[in-house]
Structure formats: structure tokens, C-alpha cells
Chain A
Amino acid sequence: MILEQLMNGLGQGAIYALMSIGYALIFGVVGLVTFVHGDVIMLGAFTAYYSFVLLGGNLLLAILLGFAVSGAMGFFIHRICYNRFFNSPRQISLICTIGMGMFLRNLVQVVAGTESKPIPNLFGSGSVTLAGLRITYMQLFIFAVVMALVLVLTIFLNKTRVGMSLKSVSMDKTASALVGIDTKRTTTVGNMIGCGLAGVAGVLLAMYYGTITPMMGGNIGMKAFCCAVLGGASSVGGAAVGGLLIGVCENLGIMVFSAGMRDTVSFLLLILILLVKPEGLFTRRSR
């Protein structure tokens, strides 16, 4: 039973990890506060829905579209919420993103309707059994995507010019500008990539759970925030591990207490870790 719940937890944790990678990129690396992330994930989920309905069940196409549509939304979000308030206090952008989230939710309700929509799981119910534990192909695929993304992003951030300028902008805008980095353009790119990844998370999340609604963004956005902060927001890998950790703890929490305690467990964990290690689990030094 414990092993099964551990597996359930890892499955769910992988979803959380997927959501929090984009969040960590925007919040931790680029240094932008955002509360619209959950709704961008929702946008990705709806892109998947329309891709499956209109263009057939092509997973790769859905993922690419999810990335493109959400990435484009990232561009607008940056335009509206960050660009104008670049040198203003951070809470102004923060409030803007909250408004942007409401706007997105209502927009999708108007365009797509209010009802829940079914999404086909292209992996079917296929699974492999390892030491008596069932792991579905869907879960394996999500794990693979999470690991690939962490790897690619880590290389991108540390080895490429754009990646390094992203990091430097988050450390010091003025100094970055002084050494010739176009700070606004760099953060736009960062936000677009982060939002694009949220879109990818939305596509996979939709397939994993099977149903989507325009209102799904609020709670998952908070979860993504939790995971990113828990893992140490500035590290993409840390956010992914934070996601897995929260997934596992929640499921073990359900085993011991009840499902009603799910969110209590994850937020308690967050508070505890923030008390002990305010900079997050996987950050070596505070910035």
C-alpha cells in the first residue's frame, strides 16, 4: 500500500513538476512575479483540446501548438503586465497578472463555453508492471518530458548567451543593461519560454486527468507556485524535485489522514520548509 501510494504520489508529483518548471523559469530565473501561470496552463490544455478535435490525435502537434499559443500569450502578458512597470515595485506587476488571469479565465469561458470537456488519452490505459506496481505509459511519458526539460533548460541557462543574459537580468537589471543586454527583450523571451512550458504542461495535464474546464487554472497555479518556492525558485531542477516531493507527501498524507487534507499537507510542508530554509531546498546561496 505504501509503495502504491508512493507511485501515485510520483505520478502526481511529475505533473506538479511539469507545471512548476515554467514557473521557476519565470519567477526564479527571470525574476518576474506571476499569478497568471495556472491560467496559462489552462490555455495550453484548451489548445490541446482544439488541436485534438480539429487536427486529429497528434500528440506532437498538440504539444508544439500548446507551446506556441501559450508562448504567444507570454508575449502579451509581458507587454501588459511587465513592460510598462519594468522599474516599478513588483507588486504592481503582480496585481496585473492576477487581473490577467481573471481575464483569461473569462475569455476562455466565453469562447469555449463553461462546461467541462473530455480529452482523449492518446496512450490509452497501457501500462507496465514493475515489482507489482503499475506505471502507465502516460506517467512514463510525463517523467521523460520532465527530465528532458530540466536537462535542456539547465544547459540553456548555463551555456547559451540568451540563457546567461536571462540569469544576469534577474540578478541586476541596471548592471545587465550597462554591459549591453537588452533587458526588456531578454525578459520577454524568458517569459515566453516559461509560458510556453506552461502550455506544454497544460497539454499533458489535460491528457492525464482527461477533463478540462476554464476554471482549472486557479488551484494548479498555486500548486506550481508552492513547488517552485519549495524547490528553491531559482533552480529549474529544484522546482521539479519540489513538485515530486509535494506530490508524494500529499499522497502519503491522504493515506494517513484523508483526501480532504491534500492541500493542507502541501501548504504545511511549504511553510515548514520556508521556516527552516527560507531560500528553498535546492538553492545554495540566497540571492
Chain B
Amino acid sequence: MKRFLALILTLSMVLLCVAGCSNQSGGNDDPAGSQGSETPVTENKDPIRIGLSTPITGSQAENGVGTQAAVEIAVEEINAAGGINGRPVELVIQDSKSDPTQAAQIATMFTEDETILAEIGDFASGACMAAAPIYEEAGMVQLSPTASNPDYTLLGEYMFSIFGKTTDEGKFIADYLLKKYLKAENVAVIYVNSDWGVEAYDILSGYCEENGVNIVASETFFEGEKDFNAILTKVRQTNPDTVMLMMSYDSGAVAIKQIRQMDWDVQVAISGLAYSEQLITLAGEDCEGVYSEIGFVIDDSNPEIMEFATEFESRTGFAPNMMMTCAYDAMNMLAKAIENCGDNVTRAAIRDQLFELEGFEGLTGPKVFNEDRTITQRNFKIVTIENGAWKTLTDSDYID
């Protein structure tokens, strides 16, 4: 019996090690540490330590790994240019799995470490909102690249988000994508049963009621669903002219495939959350002609964006999307705010400087905070998939 117990203990320790290593690898990639010798920032000044909570494993891993790479690129650039007021930036990376419980634990870990001065939060609202009370109590900035739930920044003075709110996006989808562009009259909405999905659907249905677009069916599902046939059969009975999918690319690809497999010739639109190369990779030919909207596209005519995109792709092997580019912007904004703090770099000072930051132009557009520490997003464009690539259909002046 003792031998068995010993074996189980050994096994569980090995497993813990494996789990631990996968987290560690994030930390070890810390560019500030590895790049220290090459960069001019070697004045032996205390590093400025920034926490990054992002899903490196789990169902959102791809976005998380991309977010990590984007922030690391920003940090390396900052350090190569002499750091912030001569102090190098050091990242502390933790894997949140995009899981609210995990995000809250990471928040506790970060806030208890006094050397960490601010945090770049999860890109998903659910995780950010779970962690918010902890950051608020400790007085540490949680800067989320893309948390769009309107309630998120209301959870505390230290909560920031830099890519607009679901309300901005919902209005755009209802008024411009569905009504003006697709001329939809009867829409079936299928949305993911998550904080984000339910909120986004509520907002969308509110605006649709205002502008006269008829929502004939609405169905919800849990993340990870692989079989949409039953839902699709059900909504098809209501004869919609457009199916609006509000979900991420992995569910979206499955749903789109199954719509086409049913021989159902219907207009399909999907929320900007799914805008990614992976949607095309996963859904293949079936996603041709699917519409979407996005507040940011990789624009060949902008050299700064292309420089970032090229560097990003050489590291990760895939193109950056909106979330990842926002994460890059978030790190640069934070750096700017910390620079403005001068010698007095404290958690509270960073918060004040961030809030008052003026004239910051990120890759994803100008960033000026509203009273509620969000940014109003108006740069939406309508996009579609044509010949296996995303194509921009309208410019941001489509909003009248």
C-alpha cells in the first residue's frame, strides 16, 4: 500500500511540475531579462515590473499567446529605446486560461507583489471583471486591451479598457452592418452563453428593436459546442434572411460549416470577435462571403502597423488580430503614463497619469479616455471573406 501511495504522490508531483513548467515558460520568455545584455538599459536601475494576465493555455490560448507576443514586442522596443526614464521594463506573465477564477488568483498574486506596479489585464471581460475588485482594493491599474462589457470599468477607478464597449459595437452591427449594408429584415441570432455573449445580445436586440430589424429567433449555446445542427434546424424554421453569429472564431467556424452543410443559402454575419485568420483556416471554403465588422484591420498602407505585423508574424507564425494589436497599444500607453510620472512611479500615480494621458495615437487608433475610463470606438469597418482572405468593404466613414 505504501508503495502505491508513493507512486501516486510521485505521479501527482510530476504532473504538477508539467503544469508548473507550462506557466513558467511564459515567465522565462521574459524579454527584459533575456534582452538585458543587448539593450542600452543597463544602468542598474530598478526595473519597472508589469503584470500580464492572459490565457496561454485553454480554449482562448491562441489569442493569449498572441497577446503575450505583442506585449513582449512592445517591451523590447521600449527597452531598446532606453526604457522608461532610464528604467527597464520587466514583464511578469501568468496564464489565466481566460478563466475568471484563475484571473482573480493572479490578481491576488500580482497585487501582493509590491514590485509590480500595474497590470495588463485579460482581453475577455469575464476574467477582468472577476479580478477587478482585487485590483481596485490594492489600487493597481488593470488595463484591459479589449474588455468591452460596459459594466467592467464601472467596477472601480483603476479599471481601464482601450477598445470601446459592446454598446458601440452593438449599435454598429444593428444599424450599419445588418440594416444599412445587408438590408436584413428578419435576423436569427445565435450567441455564446457567456458574460460577453449575453451582454452583446441584449445590446444588439435593443438597437434592433429601435431600428426595425426584426429578430425572429435567438438561440444560445455554451462555449465548446461542436454540433450546431439542432440549433440551426430550429432557427431555420423561422425563415430568417440573415443569421448573425455572436461567438469567437472556433465556434464560429463550426457553425458556418454546418450552415453550409445543411445546404442553407442564407446571409451569414459574425461578430468582430471572430475576425481572425484562424476562422478562415478552420472553416475553409465554407466561410466565403461571410460578413463581419471590425474596428481594426491590418492596413498595408500604414508602415507602423506593417512593421509590427511583420515582427509579430516572424515570432508567432500567424498574423496579429485586433486583440493582439490592442495589447501592444496597451503596453505602450502604460509606458507613456509611467514616463509622465517622472520620478514618482507609484501604482496610484500611474493610474492618474494614465487617465490624463493626452494625444496617444496607438496602432488601433487615437486613445482618449472617457469619464468612465473607456474609449469610444467609432472606427468600425465592414469586412467579408473573399478568396480565402479578409476584405474590407467599407471605410470607417460608413458611419454617418
- Chain A interface (Cβ within 8 Å of chain B)? 1, 4-5, 8-9, 11-12, 80, 84-85, 88, 92, 95-96, 99, 102-103, 106, 109-110, 114-118, 120, 125, 134, 136, 209-211, 213, 215-216, 219, 250-251, 254-255, 258-260, 262-263
Q: When A84-B4, A116-B250 are in contact, do A99 and B261 touch as well, CB less than 8 Å?
A: no
Q: When A99-B15, A103-B15 are in contact, do A110 and B22 touch as well, CB less than 8 Å?
A: yes
A99 to B17, CA, bound (A): 12
Q: What are 22 A-B residue pairs whose CB atoms fall within 8 Å in the complex?
A: A5-B233, A8-B230, A12-B227, A12-B229, A84-B3, A92-B8, A102-B15, A109-B57, A114-B62, A115-B61, A125-B260, A210-B282, A213-B59, A215-B58, A215-B59, A216-B226, A259-B220, A259-B222, A259-B231, A260-B221, A260-B222, A262-B221
A247 to chain B, nearest CB (A): 9
Closest to B190 in A: A259
A255 to B19, CA, bound (A): 41
B317 to chain A, nearest CB (A): 9
A260 to B198, CA, bound (A): 12
Q: Interface on chain B toward A: helix, strand, loop, or mixed SS? A: helix
Query: Does B65 belong to the interface (CB within 8 Å)?
Result: yes
- Chain A residues closer than 8 Å to B234, beta-carbon distance: 1, 5, 254-255
Contact with A along B249-289 (1 / 0, CB 8 A): 11001100100111100000000000000100111100000
Closest to A215 in B: B59
Let me know if A96 and B281 touch, CB within 8 A.
no
Closest to B224 in A: A219
Q: A251-B230, A263-B222 are known; give 5 further A-B pairs, CB within 8 A.
A: A1-B237, A114-B58, A125-B261, A210-B282, A211-B282
A99 to B384, CA, bound (A): 44
Let me know if B220 and A95 touch, CB within 8 A.
no
A266 to chain B, nearest CB (A): 12
- Chain B residues closer than 8 Å to A219, beta-carbon distance: 224
A211 to B221, CA, bound (A): 17
- Chain B residues closer than 8 Å to A115, beta-carbon distance: 61-62, 278
- Among B226, B231, B260, which residue has the most Cβ atoms of chain A within 10 A? B226
Let me know if A85 and B4 touch, CB within 8 A.
yes
Query: Does B109 belong to the interface (CB within 8 Å)?
Result: no
B331 to chain A, nearest CB (A): 22
- Chain A residues closer than 8 Å to B239, beta-carbon distance: none
Closest to A253 in B: B230
For chain B residues 160-192, which have a beta carbon within 8 Å of chain A?
none
A163 to B56, CA, bound (A): 45
Query: Does B399 belong to the interface (CB within 8 Å)?
Result: no
Query: Does B7 belong to the interface (CB within 8 Å)?
Result: yes
Query: Does B193 belong to the interface (CB within 8 Å)?
Result: yes
